[in-house]
Chains A and B, each alone.
Chain A
Amino acid sequence: MKLVTHNMLSSKCLKGVVKGFPLKIHAVEVKTHEVEFNKEQVIRLIPKLEWPALCEAAESLGELSGLPPDVGPDFEGDEDFLKKAHHILFEVDVVNGELECPETGHKFPVRNGIPNMLADQKDHSADS
């Protein structure tokens, strides 16, 4: 699970949960691998993100390194910033761990890089 995906996930599927965002990450295994940098792609995605949630997620993985708490007005021209954002969004992969609902504490497993958001745990999976 890349952090760009984490930035969109909420636990509102659980009964009684109002916002369910952001999910807390309890990572057991994190990998980073290189993904080709595409400046225009990052520029288009940034305005769609919940930036504070992204920073929080990056920090919980020890990957915050120099990511500013706010997106500056001239971020489009700041290549250094865009590269950092690209790294956080696409190159950091949570392979195993859990996502925790901020309201109920319900835990959603992440296995083999795939978050399991089946709230009722009927996941047709052989190994869970």
Chain B
Amino acid sequence: MKRRKYVEGILQQIRGFCNPRVELEQYVTPSEIAASMLATIDEQFDDIAGRRVADLGTGTGVLAMGCTALDADYVIGVDVDADALRVARENVQDFDFGVDFLLADVTKLSAIMKQRFDTVVMNPPFGTKNNIGADVRFLEAALSVGEVVYSLHKTSTRNFVRKVCEQRGASVEFLAELRYDLPKTYKFHRRNSVDIQVDFIRVENRSFPPVN
């Protein structure tokens, strides 16, 4: 519990996107959701401390910073948006954390990283609006570079997510159902905030062949 409060305190101070990009579905992961995700990964599964971790679609670096605060051995945040990463890097420098960021297409990551990661954490695009299928492309990319993957997916896609994982010989566990409060980031959100049901999942991927 102490660690959770500590991480949440850090994450609350993180700057958000300067100019959120609708085509990338950029939202800052709310600090309570990020902190409870990371606390679960840390306390129930011990998959952060002493691990090499990748945060895919890191945006302004929320999950990446949380993992560093929880004593990961190595953390890299990957995103396709240079502006978001610039903010992420500023965020990291405020705290003097050893996180590195990489500007890259997450879906091509297995051809860029020579190593597999012990743990992948991500809050991927939900694959809505102009971005259909991005959620599954992120999940597939995560499975191609990580042994264990933690992610958020819309509850309405649960059966499909299960199928995607099983087709790759990975086993998925649905850890929690969250109400994700999307703040009014873009003009097409008519209400001030929208709640959507989201599954927090853990995918174990140990059957995958190693890269190199």
Chain A residues proximal to chain B, CB less than 8 Å: 1-2, 4-5, 7-13, 21, 33, 35, 40-41, 44-45, 48, 50, 90, 111-119, 123-128
- Tell me what chain B mostly uses at the interface: helix, strand, loop, or mixed: mixed
A83 to chain B, nearest CB (A): 15
Are the CB atoms of B114 and A41 closer together than 8 Å?
A: no
Are the CB atoms of A45 and B74 closer together than 8 Å?
A: yes
Chain B residues proximal to chain A, CB less than 8 Å: 21, 24, 50, 52, 73-74, 76, 80-83, 85-86, 89, 96, 98, 100-105, 108, 111-115
Are the CB atoms of B102 and A5 closer together than 8 Å?
A: yes
- Tell me what chain A mostly uses at the interface: helix, strand, loop, or mixed: loop
Closest 4 CB pairs of A and B: A125-B82, A13-B111, A117-B104, A116-B103
**Contacts A/B (CB < 8 Å), 26 sampled:** A2-B98, A2-B100, A4-B100, A5-B76, A8-B113, A8-B114, A9-B112, A10-B111, A33-B96, A35-B98, A41-B50, A45-B52, A45-B74, A111-B82, A112-B89, A113-B101, A114-B82, A114-B89, A114-B101, A114-B102, A114-B103, A116-B103, A118-B103, A118-B105, A125-B83, A126-B83
